[in-house]
Every structure is written in C-alpha cells, then in structure tokens.
Amino acid sequence: MIKLTQTVKKGGCAAKVPAMVLKEILAGVKFPPKIQGVVIDGDSFDDAAIFKIDDNISIVQTLDFFTPIVDSPYDFGAVAAANALSDVYAMGGRPKTCMAILAAPMATMEYQVIQEVLQGSCDVIAEAKASLVGGHSIDDDTLKFGLSVTGLVSNDKVWSNEGARPGDVLILTKPIGTGTICAGIKKEFYTATEAHEALSSMKRLNNAIDFLSAEDLQHIHGATDVTGFGLAGHSYQVAKASDVSLKFNHKQIPLFDLTVASLKAANLTKAHRSNNDYTQKVLQFKNIEEVETQIYFDPQTSGGLLLSVSPESAEGIVKKLETAFPKTSIVGVVEKRSEFYVYVE
C-alpha cells in the first residue's frame, strides 16, 4: 500500500507559504477595489471572507488545499475536508456547498487512491450537512487535495479575529501537536495507530456552534482556527486585528499525549522555524523550557478554534464543548494592548 507522506517533501498546513514571505509577496500586488457587500477580506488575515447578501444573511467564502499529511488516502481526504470546512465554522457560519481541488500524478497513481481521498472528503462533508457540488482537477507531479467552501452566517453572529476584547477569556477546543506528530509519521517514527489521537482530532469537524445555545454564541466576541501559522502566529493575528494583547497560561495549553515527546525527538518542520521568525518580535516567553516553546510554533492542520469569550460565560461554554471536544480548555486572557501582542508564562 502506498504511503502518501513518502511521496511529498512537506504535508498539510506545514506546507503553507510562510507568513512573512506571503506578506512580502502580497505587499507588491495591487488588488481590485473592494466592492459593495464585502465586509471581511484578506486585510486582517482572517479565516474566511464575508460578503453581505442582505440585512440578515452573509456568505462565508474560503478555500484550503495541501499535500498529504497522513499515509491513508481516506484519512487524507477526511483531514483535508475538515480543515477546509473549519474556516467557515471559525467565522460563526455553517458550510453549505463545497468544490473539490484535486491535483494528482495520473500516470503513476492508482485511481483507487484518488477515489479513497474523495470518499474520505465526502464523508466529512456529509457529516457537516453540506454538499459537494463540483470541482476542478489537474494532472500534477504530486497529490494535492482540498476544498473551496461556501457557507452562510447571520449578520449579527459573524465571528472574526477583530473581536477580542480586554477582559475576555481565551478557550482552545483542540490539543496542539499535529505538526510535530505528523513530522514523526513522515519520518516513520510513529505509526498511524500510535498517532491515533492526533489523526482523530484532525478529522474532527470544528462545529462548535452545534453544541452551544444562541445565548452562548452572543458571548463569543472573536475567533480563529489554529492552523499552519501555529498558536503563536494565529494569536498574533487576533491580537493585532483586535488591538489587544493575549496572555497564555502555558500549563493550561491542551496537548496530545505524544506532543512533548515528539518535540524532544526533534520531529520538526520548516514551518516551526518560519512561525518562530514570524512572531519573535511580538511574543514574549517567561519561564518556559526552550523545547516547549516549539508548542506555539507547531503548524497545526485542522487545529482547534481559539475563542475570545465573556468571562462570565467561559466555564459554561467549556462544559458544553467538552462533550464533543474533550480537551477544550481555558488557556488565557485578553488584555489591553501592551509591549508585546502575545505573552506566554
């Protein structure tokens, strides 16, 4: 059986263009004017775009694709789908339609492998109560797969990375560590069975809204999903967009059972380094072992939601989310903007 991770140099969200490189590239591009109806675009590095349809409803639009991060074709398709759908959930929306993005070496890859990738994706899309309505495919040297996703959200329920308020509590819904663990899989350091906890998490939809009441949702002021830029990178983007500082309690960060051991075994990606470079001037560590600082630079694939929540509602929201996301944790607080955007102690 083909091992997909051995067919590519880098996989999952660790294959993203580094944030600093991307910003430099985009700085040299003249974008078209923002048309009427565009509420959120790429200016703040938010998770998806918001286009206002009328006084009640907006479209949520996003896309995501990458190279294999796991060996199983079915699991790769499922992870890629959950990861792409996550951006809609991170904006407070519900996915409705998906279009597939597929590149594959047609001359050398068995059709069954591609079918399994698509089936894994379809099963997760069905779980999200969305539809696959088409897509586009090309013949390429390496397998790549993902989705363009369109969702809907009520105008008064949009989450963004600009909404964090001083005094809010930070909640994280999934453990950190998929980057280092998947690097270990690629090195054949871990089997799929040994990495089962991380693989299951990556396939898990980020449909937190399905487990919360309308009142709970009103107390969530801002959100993002933690993916390729790591907890540090995405927290920095929230803090900058909201003009606040985020302070994390290191001991409260949820981790997979293998995370620290994998980091100590030096199962790292280039994204660990580029995420460090991206945030080194805006992040301050206090009394954290050097190896454990890598937790914050670990590139997540289909990582959890980071929610900025009213303090009086935080405990109740955590209890509800724990039924679907067992390691949901209160991980820090939002403070007034100070010298650094992100603090860890």
Question: Hey, which residues are catalytic here?
Answer: 13
CA dihedral 40, 42, 43, 48 (to 10 degrees): 40
The dihedral over CA atoms of 96, 98, 66, 174, expressed in degrees to the nearest 10, equals 20
Looking at residue 121, the DSSP 8-state letter turns out to be H
Burial of 292 by CB count in 10 Å (0-12 exposed, 13-18 middle, 19+ buried)?
Answer: middle
CA-closest candidate to residue 236, choices 336, 161, 330: 161
Could you tell me where the beta strands, DSSP code E, fall in 30-188? 38-40, 49-52, 57-66, 94-104, 131-139, 144-154, 169-172
What is the token pair recorded at 277?
A: 């470079």
The total number of residues shown for the chain amounts to 345
Contact 54, 119 (CB under 8 A): no
